[in-house]
Amino acid sequence: MRFRIRRPADPPAPPSPEEPEPAPAEQDVEPEAAEPPLSAHEIELIRASVTVVEPLAADMTVYFYAILFARHPEVRPLFPPGMDAQRGRLLRALLRIVDMVDDPENLVRFCGHLGRDHRKFGTLRDHFPAVGACLLDSLARYAGPAWTPDIAAAWTKAYGVVADVMIGAAEEDARTRPAVWPATLVHRVPRGSGIAEVTVRPEVPYAYAAGQYVSVETPWHPRQWRSYSPAHAPREDGTLTFHVRAVPGGTVSTALVHRAVPGDMVRLGAPMGDMVLDAAVHNDLLCVAGGTGLAPIRALVEEVARRGGRHQVNLFLGARTGAELYGVDDMLRMAQRHHWLTVRGAVSDEYIPGIRRSLPQVLAEYGPWYHHDVFLSGPAPMVTSARQTLTLTGTAPDRIHHDPFDVSALATT
């Protein structure tokens, strides 16, 4: 199987009401051949081995990193000092890739995202054989007697395919943009309820599309990258404003909300995510947001305005209590300016006349929505229940857009 890496598209045009040019989300990587990279037998062998090691994944992860760092101390500085929370991600992704080995298109898209995303970690081509060998040794150890030369050969092949696509996508990406963008924090404005608006100014232009999200690394927690969504369409002055909520015990969010001061330096990874307006060129929009999940939705609303308000936008804001209905005043002000924008609230756990209902109830009441393109953003349970309600009432799944809940690079569509 050969893979063709498509040339990256140009960066998004600056905002221009006369000629609104959609900003490309990011480069796509497409498979050239339709056939899976592995034979049916090899796929079967790999899946069977995963079934054996999956219950032991936690121990295997510890072992994997232990041998990786012992054999290749040069890669240790790429990883966060304390890795407990994230330890499982790399290995989970590797195991998840197994689910895609017979789906080349998704596999290549997924690995292309991952490869580009890995640039911010400082990953190099030469690191891949080291990780691959430690992975294989870990699998062999935890699969025990179930490990055979045929399984080892199938895994070697699968890892090679994945690594090739990741390396190719990263190297292609490196031709057109930096791996990271240093940025100066220029404002931090507390908004109550543990939320702050944090504005940064990248040192060099940072092209992104409204609705995308950005990995941020702070000086206080090096190599701990967290995703935040700019709450606006691209600005002429190039600044980005994030709405950050300090989660209880949260490492990076707490620092951004309570510690950051103007002049602090952060680093940004490349923008990610497909929750962009181009996914809904001709249809009206249904947007559902909870908490700071409003940020990318707000950006999309600004983008609709920038393009001349050619979509009707129905925005539903959900929260447990009235006090948690984040950003509602701001959005109501926007609705006064834009006739195509309707804003409704839904509060589930507090009696407020007119809006005490769960989001699924409200969506069902005002629907049906199957002619709309849908953008969902907020806590995972909210997104999951809204998605369920909408698909049950006839919205096609491919019209429903939302970001991944956990590992950013796991978005495959």
Ligand X SMILES: Cc1cc2nc3c(=O)[nH]c(=O)nc-3n(C[C@H](O)[C@H](O)[C@H](O)COP(=O)(O)OP(=O)(O)OC[C@H]3O[C@@H](n4cnc5c(N)ncnc54)[C@H](O)[C@@H]3O)c2cc1C
Which is nearest to 210 in space by CA: 184, 189, 241? 241
User: Residue 271 CB, nearest distance to ligand X (Å)?
Assistant: 11
Residues with Cβ < 8 Å from 49, sequence gap 6 or more? 139, 143, 146, 147, 151, 155
Tell me the three-class secondary structure of 61-128, residue by residue. Answer: HHHHHHHHHHHCHHHHHHCCCCCCCCCHHHHHHHHHHHHHCCCHHHHHHHHHHHHHHHHHHCCCCCHH
- State which residue, 158 or 286, has the beta carbon closest to ligand HEM: 158
User: Residue 78 CB, nearest distance to ligand HEM (Å)?
Assistant: 4
Q: Is residue 409 involved in binding ligand HEM (CB under 6 A)?
A: yes
Distance CA 301, CA 334 (A): 9
Q: Is residue 292 involved in binding ligand X (CB under 6 A)?
A: yes
Q: Is the dihedral of CA 301, 289, 383, 367 positive or negative?
A: negative
In this structure, are strands 195-202 and 181-192 parallel, antiparallel, or unpaired? Answer: antiparallel
Nearest position to ligand HEM, beta carbon: 93
Burial 312-322 (b: 16+ CB within 10 A, else e): ebbbbbbbbee
Q: Half-sphere exposure of 62 toward its Cβ, with a 13 Å CA cutoff?
A: 4
Binders of ligand X in range 195-214 (CB under 6 A): 213
Q: Which stretch binds ligand X (CB under 6 A): 183-191, 223-231, 263-271, 307-315?
A: 223-231
Among 60, 162, 289, 334, binds ligand HEM (CB under 6 A): 162
Residue 245, CA distances (Å) to 142, 249, 251, 302 in order: 40, 12, 11, 22
Among 226, 298, 307, 372, binds ligand X (CB under 6 A): 226
Binders of ligand X in range 229-288 (CB under 6 A): 229, 242-245, 247, 249-254
- State which residue, 157 or 320, has the beta carbon closest to ligand X: 320
Among ligand X, ligand HEM, none, what does residue 344 contact (CB within 5–8 Å per kind)? Answer: none
Q: Is residue 298 involved in binding ligand X (CB under 6 A)?
A: no
Binders of ligand HEM in range 90-149 (CB under 6 A): 90, 93-94, 97, 114, 117-118, 121, 123, 127-128, 131
Q: Is residue 356 involved in binding ligand HEM (CB under 6 A)?
A: no
- State which residue, 190 or 308, has the beta carbon closest to ligand X: 190
Distance CA 188, CA 154 (A): 51
Distance CA 318, CA 360 (A): 10
User: Residues 80, 226: contact at Cβ < 8 Å?
Assistant: no
Q: Which stretch binds ligand HEM (CB under 6 A): 82-90, 149-157, 232-240, 387-395?
A: 82-90
Q: Is residue 163 involved in binding ligand HEM (CB under 6 A)?
A: yes
Per-residue contact flags (x/-) with ligand X for residues 16 to 55, judged by CB under 6 A:
----------------------------------------
Binding residue count for ligand HEM, defined by CB under 6 A = 26
Q: Which parts of this chain interact with ligand X (CB under 6 A)?
A: 85, 213, 226-229, 242-245, 247, 249-254, 292, 295, 403-404, 408
